[in-house]
A and B are shown apart, each in its own frame.
Chain A
Amino acid sequence: MTEGVISRWYLHEGDAVSRGDEIVDIETEKVANVYESPHSGILRRKLVHEGRPVPIGALFGIIAARDVKDAEIDTYIENFQSAFSLTEASTGGASAEVVDIPGGFIRFLKQGDGAATAAVFVHGFGADLNNWLLNQPVLAESRLAYAIDLPGHGGSVKDPKICNIEELAAAVLRFLEARNLSGIHLIGHSLGGGVAARIAIDRSALVRSLTLIAPVGLGSDINGSFIKGLVEIDRRKDMQSLLEKLFYDPALVSREMTMGVLNAKRVDGAVECLTSIAEGCFNGGHQTHILRTDLVQLAVPTQVIWGEADLIIPPQQAANLPPSMNVHIVAEAGHMVHLERAAEVNGLIAHFLEST
């Protein structure tokens, strides 16, 4: 993914804005989403028209206090734009890389730098590293942040033999070794949550903290018809209705997001891998790997984030966890809570990472 479209402005130039106010709707190939203001102030400039595609990371508006002079804003814009076009020209934006591991290869996207402990994002079933597009760049402002494609997904090796949590975790461990990463913050969503938990349980020395977002592994129930649909459906309309189950607000599922999921499945070998992972992890509509007993004893600091309206894995599975595990149930959010309530989830992750 390289660009997005500002599909709607909620504000006019000169309007006062508070932190958390809705500023614009952004459509990308992955998701349509409302962008909430990270700061309070006055919307001093709109720099992008509705409907115009802009590259990821571009400047689309300026919020500043009333007493900031226009000339200062002009200078800021000018400096930003020249620096931005320079990065664009030199790197074409951050782009994914591939690293060999024993038995295959893993695609990853590396963003940010800094001395703070690195973070690694692991996506869920049927997704890929772009699933973190609203989270990884935010975390990367203060540290090195990696997002990876699990085997069988995105641009990583398509090997149907890698089909259960243990084998997926082993592949991610090989990736961590290949990149010399240890003492990391691990953040996993759904199936990726189970993978991250498995790694933390088996190799706790490698993991500084564990963030599990709507993870597998805490209970038996999972929406079996959703998993089946994700593997089998090849028509856009049917896939769109299916993906709507991932969100509290179904309008967030854009045509591009739907096509992104279908296009990924149309790569040779992708459906075979999804089929074997579904059999290995969610056979018969139940989760195969229950990690709860090991997780509650885990010494690694752990937090759990769940959308209250999750239709894929019930948030009730976060009940009865020890108080040392920080559980956050996010209102008005579905299974894709990290996309649907990105600002809130990013805040929770940042705060948790600072505290560990």
Chain B
Amino acid sequence: MSRDLTQPASARPHRKARISYRAALGEALAQEMRRDPKIVIMGEDIAGGMGAPGQQDTWGGAFGVTKGLLGQFGRERVMDTPLQESAIIGAAIGAASNGLRPVAELMFNNFIGVCMDQLLNQAPKFRYMFGGKLTTPVTIRTVYGAGIRVAAQHSSAYHSILTHIPGLKIVMPSSPYDAKGLLIASIRDDDPVIFFEHIGLFDKEGEVPEEPYTIPLGEANVVREGSDATIVAFGRMVDLSVTAADRLQTQGIRCTVIDPRTTSPLDEDTILESVAETGRLVVVDEGNPRCSIATDISALVSAKAFKSLKAPIEMVTAPHCHVPFAPVLEDAYLPNPEKIEGAVRSAMGFTRV
């Protein structure tokens, strides 16, 4: 990345230190668009009003992340698209392989089915098939996860399906700080990145530096340290795991909580080193359990840290069914701190006979 070194990189800060996950994402987009004119953003209602006589910039995307960018960067770089996911993702990938650096928004990850040719057979294979002569620097932002009563077709967590595909990088920020640093790193990355924003985290606040910064893709964050059990959790599951770990701490059970932050690449070393120390693993994930990131990490640890395991690996995931609409059932479907505590206790209570 080139920058004019005769100019100071930073501008004087002017906002409060704590901002929301939503604002952190918006700030990352604005700062990167200012830095690099090749960045364009596109998606359904990411501004709102394009091609119509009514009010412009009414939406900022379904969750308000891109609001205000139209005024700063104009219609050339902030494009509302038709309600046609295969076209949005296809156009972004085509533009990326031809010199732009697009950030496309897929309103819900549930709509990924119709974009699968682009994401399975096109974008992740260009660099591979053309001997490195073609890169695809595209970022696809999408919303996933349950908990806000929007039913089966808008609530799934399909990160595991995409993690399966070589050539895609999969990012799942759990905090405002990570959201900004990981989105900037994703945009600057020369490979296709799928960026999963949890539907329940947009209002979460935290300290976020105002200057642009990056977090390397593939570096886990260790949120709590303890020597009795290792909890590996993704996205919104990180907060639930921290709640469980803090409760267990008061009862004398000390947990390490690892947030890998990206499922691909995966920071295997941090997980394996921790399990070598604790001997117990609990994987917490909001996705369905079969062929998932939870089973993937369990397989990794059983293969590479088998000797240090003191108890069977525990998985806390959604069940093998779709997200229910009934509130009481949706709550039962999701992992929660009680389930995580139970899994840790179960691992602690295991004895060989």
Beta-carbon contact of B9 and A268 below 8 Å: yes
Stretch binding the partner chain, chosen from B62-70, B109-117, B211-219: B211-219
Q: Which of B10-18, B93-101, B140-148, B163-171 contacts A (4 or more CB under 8 A)?
A: B10-18
Inter-chain contacts of B5 with A (CB < 8 A): 160, 272
Contacts of A104 in B (CB 8 A): 8
Contact B9 A269 (CB under 8 A): yes
**Smallest beta-carbon distance A55→chain B, Å:** 14
Given known pairs A49-B250, A267-B213, the reply for A157 and B181 (CB within 8 Å) is no
Query: In this complex, what residue of A is CB-closest to B215?
Result: A266
Chain B residues, Cβ within 8 Å of A2: 207
In the complex, which residues 12-27 of chain B have their Cβ closer than 8 Å to any Cβ of chain A?
A: 12-13, 17
The interface residues of chain B, by DSSP majority, are classed as loop
B10 lies within 8 A of A98 (CB): no
Query: Once the chains bind, are B12 and A98 in contact (CB under 8 Å)?
Result: yes
Residues of B within 8 A of A236 (CB): 219
Indicate whether B312 reaches chain A with its CB closer than 8 angstroms.
no
Which A residue sits closest to B12, measured CB to CB? A105
Which chain B residues border A49 with CB–CB below 8 Å? 249-250
Closest residue on chain B to residue A159 by CB atoms: B8
Q: In the complex, which residues of chain B have a beta carbon less than 8 angstroms from the beta carbon of A50?
A: 249
Distance, CA A52 to CA B249, complexed state (A): 8
Question: Is residue A225 within 8 Å, beta carbon to beta carbon, of the partner chain?
Answer: no
Q: Chain A nearest CB: distance from B346 CB in Å?
A: 21
B213: A residues at CB distance < 8 A: 263, 266-268
Residues B250 and A98 in contact, CB atoms below 8 Å apart: no
CB of B249 within 8 A of CB of A51, answer yes
User: Which residue in chain A gives the minimum CB-CB distance to B184?
Assistant: A268
Smallest beta-carbon distance A26→chain B, Å = 14
Which listed residue, A51, A98, A100, A158, touches B254 by the CB 8 Å rule? A51
* A2 and B225 alpha carbons, distance in the complex (Å): 18
Asked if B209 lies at the interface with its beta carbon under 8 angstroms from chain A, I say yes
How near does chain B come to A148, taking the closest CB pair, in angstroms?
15
Rounded to whole angstroms, the CA-CA distance of A29 and B183 in the bound complex is 24
For B246, the chain A residues whose CB sits under 8 A away are 51-52
Min C-beta distance of A231 to chain B, whole Å: 16
Closest residue of chain B to A156 (Cβ to Cβ) is: B10
Which residues of A are found within 8 Å of B221, using beta-carbon distances?
A: 259
Smallest CB gap from B224: residue in A: A51
The prevalent SS among residues of A at the interface is loop
Q: Give the chain B neighbours of A157 by CB distance below 8 A.
A: 8, 10, 12
What chain B residues lie within 8 Å of A98 (beta carbons)? 12-13
Smallest CB separation, B183 vs chain A (Å): 13
Residues of A contacting B207 with CB < 8 Å?
A: 2
Count chain B residues whose beta carbon lies closer than 8 angstroms to a beta carbon of A. 27
- Does A188 interact with chain B (Cβ within 8 Å)? no
- B226: interface (CB < 8 Å): yes
Using Cβ atoms and an 8 Å threshold, which residues of chain B touch A18? Answer: none
Contact of B216 among A234, A255, A268, A272 (CB under 8 A): A234
Chain B residues near A255 (CB-CB < 8 A): 222, 225
Count of A-B contacts with CB under 8 A? 62
Enumerate chain A residues within 8 angstroms of B215, measured Cβ to Cβ: 266
User: Does A155 count as interface, using CB distance less than 8 angstroms?
Assistant: yes
Per the bound structure, the CA–CA distance linking A2 and B17 in Å amounts to: 12
Specify which of A105, A158, A259 is in contact with B9 (CB 8 Å cutoff). Answer: A158
Render B182-212 as a binary contact track against A, CB cut-off 8 A, 1 for contact. Answer: 0000000000000000000000000101011
Q: Which of B218-236 contact A (CB under 8 A)?
A: 219, 221-222, 225-226
What's the nearest-Cβ distance from chain A to residue B208, in Å? 11
Cα-based distance from A159 to B212 in the complex (angstroms)? 15
Q: Does A87 contact B (CB under 8 A)?
A: no
Q: Min CB distance, A181 to chain B, in Å?
A: 20
Q: How far is the CA of A157 from the CA of B249 in the complex (A)?
A: 41
Q: Is there an interface contact between B13 and A266, defined as CB atoms closer than 8 Å?
A: no
Complex Cα–Cα for A267 and B31 (A)? 13
Q: Which partner residue on chain B sits nearest A97 by CB separation?
A: B13
Rounded to whole angstroms, the CA-CA distance of A78 and B83 in the bound complex is 60
Contact A100 B249 (CB under 8 A): no
Closest to B18 in A: A92
Which residues in A have their C-beta under 8 angstroms from that of B222?
A: 255
Q: What does the 1/0 interface line of A102-122 toward B look like (CB < 8 Å)?
A: 001100000000000000000
On whether A158 and B212 interact (CB within 8 A), knowing A51-B249, A98-B13, A255-B225, the answer reads no
Set A100, A263, A268: member contacting B10, Cβ < 8 A: A268
B67 → A minimal CB distance (Å): 24
Q: A268 contacts which of B6, B211, B250, B254 (Cβ < 8 Å)?
A: B211
A326 at the interface (CB under 8 A from B): no
- Closest chain-B Cβ to A74's Cβ sits at a distance in Å of 22
Give the complex CA separation of A2 and B249 in angstroms. Answer: 21
Flag A184-197 by CB within 8 Å of B: 1 or 0 each: 00000000000000
What per-residue 1/0 map shows which CB atoms of A285-325 lie under 8 Å from chain B? 00000000000000000000000000000000000000000
Residue of A nearest to B250 (CB): A49
CA distance A98 to B10 in the complex (A): 13
Q: Is the CB of A266 within 8 A of B181?
A: yes
Check if B249 sits within 8 Å of A272, measured CB to CB.
Answer: no
Q: Does A95 contact B (CB under 8 A)?
A: yes
Contacts A/B (CB < 8 Å), 18 sampled: A51-B249, A98-B12, A98-B13, A104-B8, A155-B211, A158-B8, A158-B10, A159-B8, A255-B225, A266-B215, A267-B212, A267-B213, A268-B9, A268-B213, A269-B3, A269-B211, A272-B3, A272-B9
Known interface pairs A51-B249, A157-B10; 17 further A-B residue pairs with C-beta atoms within 8 A, sorted by A's residue number: A51-B246, A105-B12, A155-B209, A234-B216, A255-B225, A259-B221, A266-B213, A266-B214, A267-B212, A268-B3, A268-B9, A268-B213, A269-B3, A269-B8, A269-B211, A272-B3, A272-B9
- Taking Cβ atoms with an 8 Å cutoff, the residues of B that contact A are 3, 5-6, 8-10, 12-13, 17, 181, 207, 209, 211-216, 219, 221-222, 225-226, 246, 249-250, 254
Q: Which 9 A-B pairs rank lowest in CB-CB distance, beginning with the nearest?
A: A269-B9, A159-B8, A51-B249, A267-B213, A268-B212, A158-B9, A158-B10, A105-B12, A266-B213
